[in-house]
Structure 1
Amino acid sequence: MCILFIYTDPSPPAGGYRLIIASNRDEFYKRPARKAFLCPKTNIIGGRDMEPGREGGMWLGLSIRPPAIKFGALLNVTGEEKRAATSGRGPLVYNYLKSAESAPQYLGGLKSRNSYSAFNLFALEVTPDESHGYHHSNSPEATLEYHGRQILAFGNSTPDAPFTKVRKGRDRFERIVGEARDKTDLIERLLQLLKWEESHLPDPELARRAPAGADFLSSVYVKMEKAGYGTRTHSIVLVDAACNVEFVEHTMKEPIDGTNPQWEVTVLKASL
Protein backbone atom coordinates (compact mmCIF):
# COMPACT_ATOMS: atom_id res chain seq x y z
CA MET A 1 0.00 0.00 0.00
CA CYS A 2 1.20 3.50 -0.81
CA ILE A 3 -0.30 6.97 -1.14
CA LEU A 4 0.51 9.95 -3.37
CA PHE A 5 -0.56 13.61 -3.18
CA ILE A 6 0.19 16.02 -6.03
CA TYR A 7 -0.13 19.77 -6.56
CA THR A 8 0.79 21.37 -9.87
CA ASP A 9 0.58 24.97 -11.05
CA PRO A 10 2.14 26.02 -14.38
CA SER A 11 1.81 29.72 -13.43
CA PRO A 12 2.68 29.92 -9.73
CA PRO A 13 2.48 33.22 -7.82
CA ALA A 14 5.64 34.87 -6.52
CA GLY A 15 7.20 32.55 -3.97
CA GLY A 16 4.91 29.70 -5.05
CA TYR A 17 5.55 26.24 -6.44
CA ARG A 18 5.10 24.57 -9.80
CA LEU A 19 5.00 21.16 -8.16
CA ILE A 20 4.46 19.81 -4.65
CA ILE A 21 4.58 16.05 -4.02
CA ALA A 22 3.97 14.20 -0.75
CA SER A 23 4.08 10.42 -0.78
CA ASN A 24 4.40 7.38 1.49
CA ARG A 25 5.98 4.10 0.52
CA ASP A 26 4.49 1.15 2.40
CA GLU A 27 6.54 -2.03 2.20
CA PHE A 28 7.78 -5.01 4.19
CA TYR A 29 10.44 -3.90 6.64
CA LYS A 30 12.81 -6.69 5.62
CA ARG A 31 12.84 -5.75 1.95
CA PRO A 32 16.19 -4.01 1.34
CA ALA A 33 16.26 -0.61 -0.34
CA ARG A 34 18.73 2.16 -1.07
CA LYS A 35 17.80 5.61 0.16
CA ALA A 36 17.29 8.46 -2.30
CA PHE A 37 20.32 9.75 -4.20
CA LEU A 38 21.11 11.89 -7.25
CA CYS A 39 22.76 9.91 -10.04
CA PRO A 40 25.16 12.31 -11.82
CA LYS A 41 25.11 10.30 -15.07
CA THR A 42 21.34 10.44 -15.51
CA ASN A 43 20.28 13.35 -13.26
CA ILE A 44 17.67 11.00 -11.76
CA ILE A 45 16.75 11.37 -8.08
CA GLY A 46 15.11 8.59 -6.09
CA GLY A 47 15.56 5.49 -3.99
CA ARG A 48 16.10 1.99 -5.36
CA ASP A 49 14.74 -1.44 -4.56
CA MET A 50 17.58 -3.77 -3.57
CA GLU A 51 15.55 -6.97 -3.29
CA PRO A 52 17.65 -9.77 -4.85
CA GLY A 53 16.54 -10.20 -8.43
CA ARG A 54 14.75 -6.84 -8.43
CA GLU A 55 17.68 -4.50 -7.87
CA GLY A 56 17.27 -1.01 -9.31
CA GLY A 57 13.49 -0.84 -9.34
CA MET A 58 11.96 2.48 -8.34
CA TRP A 59 8.72 3.34 -6.59
CA LEU A 60 9.12 7.11 -7.02
CA GLY A 61 11.62 9.49 -8.58
CA LEU A 62 12.27 12.38 -10.91
CA SER A 63 14.72 13.40 -13.61
CA ILE A 64 15.99 16.93 -14.18
CA ARG A 65 17.05 17.28 -17.80
CA PRO A 66 16.04 20.05 -20.23
CA PRO A 67 13.48 20.68 -21.50
CA ALA A 68 11.48 19.19 -18.59
CA ILE A 69 11.44 17.89 -15.06
CA LYS A 70 9.88 14.42 -15.20
CA PHE A 71 8.27 12.81 -12.16
CA GLY A 72 7.12 9.21 -11.90
CA ALA A 73 5.47 7.13 -9.18
CA LEU A 74 4.28 3.53 -9.08
CA LEU A 75 1.53 2.17 -6.83
CA ASN A 76 0.14 -1.34 -6.83
CA VAL A 77 -3.61 -1.94 -7.15
CA THR A 78 -4.59 -4.21 -4.29
CA GLY A 79 -7.40 -6.73 -4.32
CA GLU A 80 -7.11 -7.56 -8.03
CA GLU A 81 -7.16 -11.09 -9.34
CA LYS A 82 -3.67 -12.55 -9.47
CA ARG A 83 -2.27 -13.02 -12.93
CA ALA A 84 0.85 -14.73 -14.21
CA ALA A 85 2.84 -11.55 -14.80
CA THR A 86 5.71 -11.93 -17.26
CA SER A 87 7.36 -8.59 -16.43
CA GLY A 88 8.23 -6.94 -13.13
CA ARG A 89 6.77 -3.50 -12.39
CA GLY A 90 9.92 -2.15 -10.73
CA PRO A 91 11.56 -0.74 -13.90
CA LEU A 92 8.46 1.19 -15.04
CA VAL A 93 9.34 4.44 -13.25
CA TYR A 94 13.07 4.30 -13.96
CA ASN A 95 12.60 3.52 -17.65
CA TYR A 96 10.25 6.48 -18.01
CA LEU A 97 12.61 8.86 -16.23
CA LYS A 98 15.69 7.89 -18.25
CA SER A 99 13.92 7.81 -21.61
CA ALA A 100 13.75 10.71 -24.06
CA GLU A 101 10.08 9.90 -24.68
CA SER A 102 7.25 12.09 -23.51
CA ALA A 103 4.81 10.59 -21.02
CA PRO A 104 2.15 9.86 -23.70
CA GLN A 105 4.77 8.16 -25.88
CA TYR A 106 6.10 6.08 -23.03
CA LEU A 107 2.72 5.05 -21.67
CA GLY A 108 1.49 4.22 -25.17
CA GLY A 109 4.40 1.86 -25.64
CA LEU A 110 3.91 -0.19 -22.48
CA LYS A 111 3.28 -3.87 -22.86
CA SER A 112 -0.24 -5.21 -22.59
CA ARG A 113 -2.00 -5.24 -19.22
CA ASN A 114 -1.44 -8.97 -18.77
CA SER A 115 2.35 -8.50 -18.74
CA TYR A 116 2.31 -6.93 -15.26
CA SER A 117 0.57 -7.33 -11.95
CA ALA A 118 -2.02 -4.61 -11.35
CA PHE A 119 -0.57 -1.10 -11.02
CA ASN A 120 -1.18 2.64 -11.03
CA LEU A 121 1.57 4.63 -12.76
CA PHE A 122 1.63 8.41 -12.55
CA ALA A 123 3.87 10.37 -14.94
CA LEU A 124 4.25 14.15 -14.81
CA GLU A 125 6.22 16.65 -16.87
CA VAL A 126 6.95 20.20 -15.74
CA THR A 127 8.54 22.94 -17.86
CA PRO A 128 8.91 26.68 -17.21
CA ASP A 129 5.64 27.15 -19.11
CA GLU A 130 3.51 24.03 -18.73
CA SER A 131 2.51 21.12 -16.51
CA HIS A 132 1.05 17.85 -17.79
CA GLY A 133 0.20 14.76 -15.74
CA TYR A 134 -0.89 11.28 -16.78
CA HIS A 135 -2.30 8.43 -14.74
CA HIS A 136 -2.06 5.00 -16.36
CA SER A 137 -3.49 1.78 -14.97
CA ASN A 138 -3.64 -1.72 -16.36
CA SER A 139 -6.53 -2.83 -14.16
CA PRO A 140 -8.62 -1.86 -16.04
CA GLU A 141 -6.37 -0.48 -18.76
CA ALA A 142 -6.94 3.27 -19.01
CA THR A 143 -5.02 6.55 -19.15
CA LEU A 144 -6.25 9.82 -17.63
CA GLU A 145 -4.75 13.21 -18.45
CA TYR A 146 -4.40 16.27 -16.20
CA HIS A 147 -3.34 19.70 -17.40
CA GLY A 148 -2.84 23.03 -15.69
CA ARG A 149 -3.36 23.64 -11.97
CA GLN A 150 -4.35 20.42 -10.21
CA ILE A 151 -4.63 18.89 -6.76
CA LEU A 152 -4.62 15.10 -7.07
CA ALA A 153 -4.41 12.05 -4.83
CA PHE A 154 -3.90 8.37 -5.62
CA GLY A 155 -3.76 5.18 -3.61
CA ASN A 156 -4.02 1.45 -4.18
CA SER A 157 -7.42 1.42 -5.84
CA THR A 158 -8.67 2.78 -9.14
CA PRO A 159 -9.09 6.59 -9.41
CA ASP A 160 -12.86 6.29 -9.75
CA ALA A 161 -13.11 4.51 -6.36
CA PRO A 162 -10.49 6.04 -4.03
CA PHE A 163 -10.07 4.86 -0.47
CA THR A 164 -11.46 7.16 2.21
CA LYS A 165 -7.95 7.98 3.45
CA VAL A 166 -7.05 9.16 -0.06
CA ARG A 167 -10.06 11.48 -0.23
CA LYS A 168 -9.58 12.89 3.26
CA GLY A 169 -5.84 13.10 2.78
CA ARG A 170 -6.37 15.08 -0.40
CA ASP A 171 -8.55 17.58 1.46
CA ARG A 172 -5.91 18.02 4.16
CA PHE A 173 -3.17 18.30 1.52
CA GLU A 174 -5.11 21.07 -0.24
CA ARG A 175 -5.42 23.00 3.02
CA ILE A 176 -1.71 22.62 3.70
CA VAL A 177 -0.76 23.95 0.26
CA GLY A 178 -3.03 26.96 0.76
CA GLU A 179 -2.09 27.76 4.35
CA ALA A 180 1.65 27.05 4.71
CA ARG A 181 3.56 30.19 5.68
CA ASP A 182 6.92 29.27 4.16
CA LYS A 183 8.94 26.29 2.94
CA THR A 184 9.87 25.10 6.41
CA ASP A 185 6.24 25.21 7.52
CA LEU A 186 5.13 23.48 4.31
CA ILE A 187 7.54 20.58 4.72
CA GLU A 188 6.65 20.15 8.40
CA ARG A 189 2.92 20.08 7.67
CA LEU A 190 3.40 17.63 4.80
CA LEU A 191 5.34 15.31 7.11
CA GLN A 192 2.51 15.51 9.63
CA LEU A 193 0.10 14.49 6.86
CA LEU A 194 2.30 11.55 5.87
CA LYS A 195 2.49 10.45 9.53
CA TRP A 196 -1.28 10.72 10.01
CA GLU A 197 -2.34 7.64 11.99
CA GLU A 198 -6.08 8.37 12.23
CA SER A 199 -8.22 5.47 11.03
CA HIS A 200 -10.61 6.34 8.18
CA LEU A 201 -13.30 3.73 8.60
CA PRO A 202 -15.78 2.68 7.46
CA ASP A 203 -14.38 2.33 3.96
CA PRO A 204 -16.38 -0.08 1.77
CA GLU A 205 -13.84 -0.01 -1.07
CA LEU A 206 -10.92 -0.84 1.21
CA ALA A 207 -12.96 -3.53 2.95
CA ARG A 208 -13.76 -5.05 -0.44
CA ARG A 209 -10.16 -5.03 -1.64
CA ALA A 210 -8.37 -5.89 1.62
CA PRO A 211 -10.92 -7.35 4.06
CA ALA A 212 -8.30 -8.90 6.34
CA GLY A 213 -6.22 -5.75 6.73
CA ALA A 214 -8.68 -2.87 6.48
CA ASP A 215 -8.31 -1.92 10.15
CA PHE A 216 -4.55 -1.42 9.70
CA LEU A 217 -4.59 0.02 6.18
CA SER A 218 -7.22 2.72 6.67
CA SER A 219 -4.76 5.37 7.88
CA VAL A 220 -2.31 7.40 5.78
CA TYR A 221 0.54 6.12 7.96
CA VAL A 222 0.39 2.32 7.97
CA LYS A 223 1.76 0.26 10.84
CA MET A 224 1.43 -3.54 10.90
CA GLU A 225 4.19 -4.52 13.31
CA LYS A 226 3.30 -8.20 13.63
CA ALA A 227 3.36 -8.57 9.85
CA GLY A 228 6.61 -6.61 9.59
CA TYR A 229 4.98 -4.17 7.20
CA GLY A 230 4.16 -0.49 7.10
CA THR A 231 5.05 3.00 6.00
CA ARG A 232 8.84 3.14 5.85
CA THR A 233 9.60 6.11 3.57
CA HIS A 234 8.18 9.64 3.32
CA SER A 235 9.03 11.58 0.15
CA ILE A 236 8.45 15.29 -0.45
CA VAL A 237 9.26 17.02 -3.75
CA LEU A 238 9.17 20.79 -4.23
CA VAL A 239 9.71 22.58 -7.56
CA ASP A 240 9.63 26.36 -7.30
CA ALA A 241 8.75 28.96 -9.95
CA ALA A 242 12.35 28.99 -11.24
CA CYS A 243 12.34 25.16 -11.61
CA ASN A 244 14.64 24.61 -8.65
CA VAL A 245 14.06 21.15 -7.18
CA GLU A 246 14.25 20.06 -3.54
CA PHE A 247 13.77 16.37 -2.75
CA VAL A 248 13.30 15.51 0.93
CA GLU A 249 13.22 11.89 2.06
CA HIS A 250 12.64 10.51 5.56
CA THR A 251 13.25 6.77 5.53
CA MET A 252 13.61 4.13 8.24
CA LYS A 253 17.17 3.06 8.89
CA GLU A 254 17.80 -0.60 8.09
CA PRO A 255 17.55 -3.07 9.71
CA ILE A 256 14.14 -1.69 10.58
CA ASP A 257 12.65 -2.07 14.04
CA GLY A 258 8.96 -1.37 13.46
CA THR A 259 8.34 -0.72 17.16
CA ASN A 260 11.14 1.85 17.46
CA PRO A 261 12.23 3.00 13.98
CA GLN A 262 15.21 5.27 13.45
CA TRP A 263 14.74 7.78 10.64
CA GLU A 264 17.37 8.93 8.15
CA VAL A 265 16.82 12.29 6.46
CA THR A 266 18.12 13.02 2.94
CA VAL A 267 17.82 16.39 1.22
CA LEU A 268 18.78 16.66 -2.46
CA LYS A 269 18.72 19.78 -4.62
CA ALA A 270 18.98 20.36 -8.37
CA SER A 271 17.85 22.82 -11.04
CA LEU A 272 16.50 22.46 -14.55
Structure 2
Amino acid sequence: MCILFIYNGANDIESDFSLILISNRDEFYDRPAQCMAPWSEEPCVYGGRDLEAGCEKGTWLAVSSKYKKIGLLLNLPGVKKENAKSRNSLPEVNTYTNATNEISTWSDTYLGFGNSLPDKPLKKVQNGKNLLKNICTKLNKINTKPELLNELISLLKNQESNLPDPQLEERQPNMYKALSSIFVNIPKARYGTRAHTIVLVTKSGEVDLIELSLKSPINIEKPEWERNEFQFII
Protein backbone atom coordinates (compact mmCIF):
# COMPACT_ATOMS: atom_id res chain seq x y z
CA MET A 1 0.00 0.00 0.00
CA CYS A 2 2.41 2.66 -1.30
CA ILE A 3 2.08 6.35 -0.49
CA LEU A 4 3.38 9.55 -2.09
CA PHE A 5 3.37 13.24 -1.15
CA ILE A 6 4.16 16.33 -3.23
CA TYR A 7 5.00 19.94 -2.47
CA ASN A 8 4.52 22.05 -5.61
CA GLY A 9 6.41 25.16 -4.53
CA ALA A 10 7.09 26.99 -7.77
CA ASN A 11 4.70 29.82 -6.82
CA ASP A 12 5.90 30.03 -3.21
CA ILE A 13 8.14 33.10 -3.20
CA GLU A 14 9.51 32.14 0.22
CA SER A 15 10.78 28.77 -1.00
CA ASP A 16 13.99 27.82 -2.79
CA PHE A 17 12.32 24.62 -4.03
CA SER A 18 9.98 24.25 -6.98
CA LEU A 19 9.20 20.64 -6.14
CA ILE A 20 9.58 18.20 -3.27
CA LEU A 21 8.36 14.63 -3.76
CA ILE A 22 8.58 11.90 -1.13
CA SER A 23 7.25 8.35 -1.28
CA ASN A 24 7.17 4.98 0.44
CA ARG A 25 7.16 1.76 -1.52
CA ASP A 26 5.32 -1.00 0.37
CA GLU A 27 5.95 -4.52 -0.88
CA PHE A 28 6.53 -8.12 0.18
CA TYR A 29 10.04 -8.42 1.59
CA ASP A 30 10.91 -11.44 -0.52
CA ARG A 31 9.94 -9.95 -3.86
CA PRO A 32 13.20 -9.37 -5.76
CA ALA A 33 13.85 -5.74 -6.66
CA GLN A 34 16.63 -3.41 -7.78
CA CYS A 35 17.44 -0.25 -5.84
CA MET A 36 17.27 3.19 -7.43
CA ALA A 37 19.95 3.37 -10.13
CA PRO A 38 20.52 4.59 -13.71
CA TRP A 39 18.93 2.26 -16.25
CA SER A 40 21.43 0.45 -18.46
CA GLU A 41 19.36 1.06 -21.62
CA GLU A 42 18.66 4.72 -20.75
CA PRO A 43 21.35 6.07 -18.37
CA CYS A 44 19.59 9.44 -17.98
CA VAL A 45 16.66 7.66 -16.29
CA TYR A 46 16.94 6.70 -12.63
CA GLY A 47 14.48 4.26 -11.12
CA GLY A 48 13.86 1.28 -8.91
CA ARG A 49 12.81 -1.92 -10.66
CA ASP A 50 10.96 -5.14 -10.03
CA LEU A 51 12.98 -8.28 -10.72
CA GLU A 52 10.24 -10.83 -10.09
CA ALA A 53 9.69 -13.31 -12.94
CA GLY A 54 7.13 -11.88 -15.32
CA CYS A 55 7.52 -8.35 -13.93
CA GLU A 56 11.09 -7.62 -15.01
CA LYS A 57 11.85 -3.95 -15.58
CA GLY A 58 8.62 -2.80 -14.02
CA THR A 59 9.25 0.39 -12.06
CA TRP A 60 7.65 2.13 -9.09
CA LEU A 61 9.27 5.52 -9.61
CA ALA A 62 11.50 6.89 -12.36
CA VAL A 63 13.26 10.23 -12.67
CA SER A 64 14.79 11.53 -15.89
CA SER A 65 17.65 14.02 -15.95
CA LYS A 66 17.17 14.55 -19.70
CA TYR A 67 13.44 14.63 -20.36
CA LYS A 68 12.42 16.60 -17.23
CA LYS A 69 10.06 13.85 -16.09
CA ILE A 70 9.41 11.95 -12.89
CA GLY A 71 7.74 8.67 -13.75
CA LEU A 72 4.34 9.06 -15.39
CA LEU A 73 3.18 11.26 -12.57
CA LEU A 74 5.02 14.54 -13.02
CA ASN A 75 6.13 16.61 -15.99
CA LEU A 76 8.63 19.31 -15.08
CA PRO A 77 8.87 22.31 -17.38
CA GLY A 78 12.20 22.81 -19.09
CA VAL A 79 14.72 25.02 -17.32
CA LYS A 80 16.69 27.68 -19.15
CA LYS A 81 19.71 27.85 -16.89
CA GLU A 82 20.46 31.48 -17.70
CA ASN A 83 16.96 32.52 -16.62
CA ALA A 84 15.93 29.72 -14.27
CA LYS A 85 14.80 31.84 -11.33
CA SER A 86 12.51 34.05 -13.40
CA ARG A 87 10.48 31.39 -15.19
CA ASN A 88 6.76 31.37 -14.42
CA SER A 89 5.80 27.84 -15.49
CA LEU A 90 4.72 25.38 -12.81
CA PRO A 91 5.48 21.72 -12.39
CA GLU A 92 2.49 19.89 -13.85
CA VAL A 93 1.11 17.05 -11.74
CA ASN A 94 -0.95 14.41 -13.53
CA THR A 95 -2.36 11.15 -12.22
CA TYR A 96 -3.89 8.16 -13.98
CA THR A 97 -6.02 5.46 -12.42
CA ASN A 98 -7.23 2.30 -14.12
CA ALA A 99 -10.35 2.42 -11.91
CA THR A 100 -11.77 5.23 -14.06
CA ASN A 101 -9.34 5.14 -17.00
CA GLU A 102 -8.90 8.90 -16.67
CA ILE A 103 -5.99 11.32 -16.36
CA SER A 104 -6.43 14.12 -13.83
CA THR A 105 -4.38 17.31 -13.37
CA TRP A 106 -3.73 18.75 -9.91
CA SER A 107 -2.76 22.33 -9.08
CA ASP A 108 -2.74 22.20 -5.25
CA THR A 109 0.46 23.23 -3.51
CA TYR A 110 0.36 20.11 -1.31
CA LEU A 111 -0.77 16.74 -2.65
CA GLY A 112 -0.99 13.21 -1.32
CA PHE A 113 -1.72 9.92 -3.06
CA GLY A 114 -2.21 6.43 -1.66
CA ASN A 115 -3.96 3.19 -2.46
CA SER A 116 -7.35 4.80 -3.10
CA LEU A 117 -8.93 7.08 -5.67
CA PRO A 118 -7.13 10.45 -5.57
CA ASP A 119 -10.32 12.35 -4.71
CA LYS A 120 -11.08 9.93 -1.86
CA PRO A 121 -7.79 9.81 0.07
CA LEU A 122 -7.15 7.54 3.01
CA LYS A 123 -6.84 9.31 6.35
CA LYS A 124 -3.09 8.64 6.51
CA VAL A 125 -2.72 10.43 3.18
CA GLN A 126 -4.62 13.47 4.48
CA ASN A 127 -2.60 13.60 7.70
CA GLY A 128 0.70 13.03 5.92
CA LYS A 129 -0.05 15.92 3.59
CA ASN A 130 -0.51 18.18 6.61
CA LEU A 131 2.79 16.97 8.07
CA LEU A 132 4.53 17.77 4.78
CA LYS A 133 3.04 21.27 4.81
CA ASN A 134 4.39 21.89 8.31
CA ILE A 135 7.86 20.76 7.22
CA CYS A 136 8.01 22.73 3.96
CA THR A 137 6.70 25.89 5.62
CA LYS A 138 9.64 26.07 8.04
CA LEU A 139 12.41 24.35 6.03
CA ASN A 140 12.22 25.71 2.49
CA LYS A 141 15.73 27.13 2.02
CA ILE A 142 18.71 25.40 0.42
CA ASN A 143 20.85 26.12 3.49
CA THR A 144 18.43 24.09 5.64
CA LYS A 145 18.50 21.07 3.30
CA PRO A 146 20.10 18.67 5.85
CA GLU A 147 17.34 19.44 8.37
CA LEU A 148 14.72 19.21 5.63
CA LEU A 149 15.91 15.74 4.62
CA ASN A 150 15.86 14.54 8.22
CA GLU A 151 12.30 15.79 8.69
CA LEU A 152 11.13 14.23 5.42
CA ILE A 153 12.65 10.87 6.34
CA SER A 154 10.96 11.04 9.74
CA LEU A 155 7.64 11.66 8.01
CA LEU A 156 8.14 8.61 5.81
CA LYS A 157 9.02 6.51 8.86
CA ASN A 158 5.99 7.72 10.85
CA GLN A 159 4.27 4.70 12.45
CA GLU A 160 1.38 6.56 14.09
CA SER A 161 -2.01 5.00 13.35
CA ASN A 162 -4.43 7.19 11.42
CA LEU A 163 -7.73 5.83 12.67
CA PRO A 164 -10.65 5.76 12.47
CA ASP A 165 -10.68 5.43 8.70
CA PRO A 166 -13.96 3.88 7.49
CA GLN A 167 -12.68 3.45 3.93
CA LEU A 168 -9.60 1.50 5.01
CA GLU A 169 -11.56 -0.53 7.57
CA GLU A 170 -14.07 -1.57 4.91
CA ARG A 171 -11.42 -2.49 2.34
CA GLN A 172 -9.01 -4.22 4.73
CA PRO A 173 -11.10 -5.50 7.69
CA ASN A 174 -8.35 -7.85 8.92
CA MET A 175 -5.31 -5.62 8.43
CA TYR A 176 -6.54 -2.03 8.60
CA LYS A 177 -4.72 -1.27 11.87
CA ALA A 178 -1.34 -2.34 10.47
CA LEU A 179 -1.99 -0.45 7.22
CA SER A 180 -3.19 2.76 8.86
CA SER A 181 0.27 4.26 9.36
CA ILE A 182 2.47 5.97 6.75
CA PHE A 183 5.27 3.50 7.50
CA VAL A 184 3.95 -0.06 7.24
CA ASN A 185 5.52 -3.00 9.06
CA ILE A 186 3.81 -6.42 9.09
CA PRO A 187 6.53 -8.94 10.05
CA LYS A 188 4.27 -12.02 10.04
CA ALA A 189 3.34 -11.36 6.43
CA ARG A 190 6.91 -10.31 5.56
CA TYR A 191 5.38 -7.18 4.10
CA GLY A 192 5.92 -3.49 4.67
CA THR A 193 7.73 -0.32 3.63
CA ARG A 194 10.85 -1.36 1.73
CA ALA A 195 12.04 1.95 0.29
CA HIS A 196 11.84 5.70 0.93
CA THR A 197 12.39 7.99 -2.05
CA ILE A 198 12.97 11.75 -1.85
CA VAL A 199 13.24 14.12 -4.82
CA LEU A 200 14.22 17.77 -4.26
CA VAL A 201 14.16 20.20 -7.18
CA THR A 202 15.36 23.77 -6.64
CA LYS A 203 14.10 26.75 -8.61
CA SER A 204 17.46 26.84 -10.40
CA GLY A 205 16.97 23.25 -11.62
CA GLU A 206 19.27 21.36 -9.22
CA VAL A 207 17.95 17.89 -8.39
CA ASP A 208 18.74 15.69 -5.39
CA LEU A 209 17.45 12.12 -5.72
CA ILE A 210 17.75 10.03 -2.56
CA GLU A 211 16.57 6.50 -1.84
CA LEU A 212 16.79 4.59 1.41
CA SER A 213 15.95 0.91 0.95
CA LEU A 214 15.97 -2.23 3.04
CA LYS A 215 19.04 -4.30 2.24
CA SER A 216 18.23 -7.69 0.74
CA PRO A 217 17.83 -10.37 1.92
CA ILE A 218 15.67 -8.57 4.50
CA ASN A 219 16.20 -9.66 8.09
CA ILE A 220 13.04 -8.66 9.95
CA GLU A 221 14.83 -9.01 13.30
CA LYS A 222 17.72 -6.72 12.35
CA PRO A 223 16.78 -4.79 9.19
CA GLU A 224 19.54 -2.83 7.50
CA TRP A 225 18.96 0.25 5.35
CA GLU A 226 21.17 1.30 2.45
CA ARG A 227 21.26 4.78 0.92
CA ASN A 228 21.73 5.79 -2.72
CA GLU A 229 22.06 9.43 -3.81
CA PHE A 230 22.23 11.15 -7.19
CA GLN A 231 22.52 14.81 -8.19
CA PHE A 232 22.00 16.43 -11.58
CA ILE A 233 20.68 19.57 -13.30
CA ILE A 234 17.50 19.78 -15.36
TM-score by length of 1: 0.77
Alignment correspondent of 1:229: 191
Which structure 2 residues correspond to residues 38-187 of structure 1 after superposition, within 5 A?
A: 38-39=38-39, 41-65=42-66, 68-72=67-71, 93=72, 122-128=73-79, 129=87, 130=89, 131-147=91-107, 150-180=109-139, 182-187=144-149
**What are the superposed Cα offsets for residues 75-130 of structure 1, whole Å, 9 maximum, x if unpaired?**
xxxxxxxxxxxxxxxxxx5xxxxxxxxxxxxxxxxxxxxxxxxxxxx333333342
Task: Give me the whole-angstrom Cα distance separating, in 2, the residues matched to 1:6 and 1:15.
Answer: 14
Which structure 2 residues correspond to residues 251-270 of structure 1 after superposition, within 5 A?
A: 251-270=213-232
- Stretches of structure 2 lacking an aligned partner (at least 5 in a row): 80-86
RMSD (CA atoms): 1.7
Alignment correspondent of 1:25: 25
- Mark the CA change 1:211 to 1:124 in structure 2 (over 3 Å): closer, same or farther: farther
Matching residue's letter, 2:125: V
Higher mean C-alpha deviation, range 230-239 or range 56-65:
56-65
Equivalent pairs, count: 221
The percentage of counterpart residues that share the same residue type is 38
Matching residue's letter, 2:26: D
TM-score by length of 2: 0.89
Alpha-carbon deviation of 1:14? 7.1
- Mark the CA change 1:244 to 1:14 in structure 2 (over 3 Å): closer, same or farther: farther
Task: Give me the whole-angstrom Cα distance separating, in 2, the residues matched to 1:235 and 1:254.
Answer: 17
Q: Is the 8 A contact 1:246 1:268 kept in 2?
A: yes
Task: Give me the whole-angstrom Cα distance separating, in 1, the residues matched to 2:158 and 2:14.
Answer: 30
2:163 matched to 1:201? Answer: yes
Alpha-carbon deviation of 1:16? 0.8
Task: Give me the whole-angstrom Cα distance separating, in 2, the residues matched to 1:206 and 1:259.
Answer: 28
Q: Is the 8 A contact 2:214 2:226 kept in 1?
A: yes
- Which of 217, 220, 229 is the equivalent residue of 2:179? 217
Matching residue's letter, 1:213: M
Q: Is the 8 A contact 2:30 2:218 kept in 1?
A: yes
Matching residue's letter, 1:158: L
Q: Is the 8 A contact 1:124 1:133 kept in 2?
A: yes
Alpha-carbon deviation of 1:11? 4.3
Task: Give me the whole-angstrom Cα distance separating, in 1, the residues matched to 2:125 and 2:220.
Answer: 23
Alpha-carbon deviation of 1:223? 0.5
Task: Give me the whole-angstrom Cα distance separating, in 1, the residues matched to 2:106 and 2:191.
Answer: 32
Alignment correspondent of 2:7: 7
- Stretches of structure 1 lacking an aligned partner (at least 5 in a row): 73-92, 94-121
Alignment correspondent of 1:96: none
